[in-house]
Amino acid sequence: MNTTHHSEYLKLKSVFIKPVMNAFISDIQLGKQWHDLNYISQPDYNIALKEYKAFEKHIKNAGVEIHYFPVDEKVGIDSIYCRDATITTNFGMIICSMGKNIRKNEPISQKQFYIENDIPILGEILSPGTIEGGDVVWLDEYTLAVGHSYRTNEKGIEQLKQILEPKGIEVIVAQLPHYKGSQDVFHLMSILSPVDKDLAVVFSPLMPIKFRSELINRGFKFVEVPEDEFESMGCNVLAIAPKKCIMVDGNPKTKNALINAGCEVITYKGKEISVKGGGGPTCLTRPMLRSF
């Protein structure tokens, strides 16, 4: 069996997650932090526990090996969205530098976890460079797309290129729009989720023309998310195998479009763990190995 870290759609073999109990901690913790982190409203801790248990069960049922990021008092409730702090590669982990200052300790926390578990580290994005994992998408084994956003700046992208280009990886930059401004959560993965080699869920109204054309030239077909399902994270879809994916409940048009494109779709109730904090299933996971 061949495995790779350079995929968003192949059969998921192992993943890191940070459960509610390790990230949200308690209703008291949520009450202290949700407003400053720009959540829609305060998540309900007990309901969040139930939602997360169901979400985790879907991953387990797919035969995925799950590893858990531990409690760390130096990070906040946003650490549940564990994709953002690091980038996985076949050469080792890349430690990110958060564009949202209040989350600056999350990459440090994950780095320590990797060191303690003998997981190799390839490189690190250093301030004033910033990169968040939600802005980074593997298009194929040798191509990584990165969004230039309010969370990922030019200095961070340049450092990423310096780390990966000597390894034969092409880094393609997508210039993301202003949209709701610097305080909003808007990553490349807010508008792009690959679910197969040549199939991606997209929200075209906010896609850069050059980048969208690049995907078409590479043979991608699109499942288009309607405008009324964008804010409810219809575009945030986690592939656990080719054309088998997990998405937040409440996006029936996108779900039907995926099914019509030949996909198997699993949904989970994510009001507390996803919608209120702006982090769907791709954000809740740090996928590691995939097989082909």
At 204-260, the pLDDT tens digits run: 999 999 999 999 999 999 999 999 999 999 999 999 999 999 999 999 999 999 999
Q: Is residue 204 part of a domain?
A: no
In a domain, 198, yes or no: no
Residue 185 has pLDDT above 80, yes or no: no
| 79 within domain boundaries | yes
* Per-residue confidence band for 202, with pLDDT thresholds at 50, 70 and 90: very high
45/287 Cα distance (integer angstroms): 25
CATH number of 278's domain: 3.75.10.10
CA–CA dist 129, 156 (Å, integer): 4
In a domain, 178, yes or no: yes
123-150 mean pLDDT: 97
Residue 229 lies in a domain: no
pTM assigned to the model: 0.96
Q: How, if at all, do strands 221-224 and 199-202 pair?
A: parallel
How high is the pLDDT of residue 184?
75
**pLDDT classification of 186: cutoffs 50, 70, 90:** confident
Half-sphere exposure of 245 (CA within 13 A, CB side): 33
The total number of structural domains in the chain stands at 1
Tell me: pLDDT of 192 over 80: yes
Query: Is 57's pLDDT higher than 80?
Result: yes
The pLDDT of residue 181? 75
Range of the domain at 37: 3-184+270-291
- DSSP conformation letters of 260-272: HTT-EEEEE--II
Do the domain assignments include residue 258? no
Yes or no: say if 206 and 189 are a contact pair by the CB < 8 Å rule.
Answer: no
**Preceding peptide of 128 cis, ω within 30°:** yes
The mean predicted confidence, pLDDT, of the chain is 97
Residue 89 has pLDDT above 90, yes or no: yes
- Within a domain: 231: no
Residue 260 lies in a domain: no
State the average pLDDT over residues 95-117.
96
Give pLDDT tens digits for 259-272.
Answer: 999 999 999 999 99
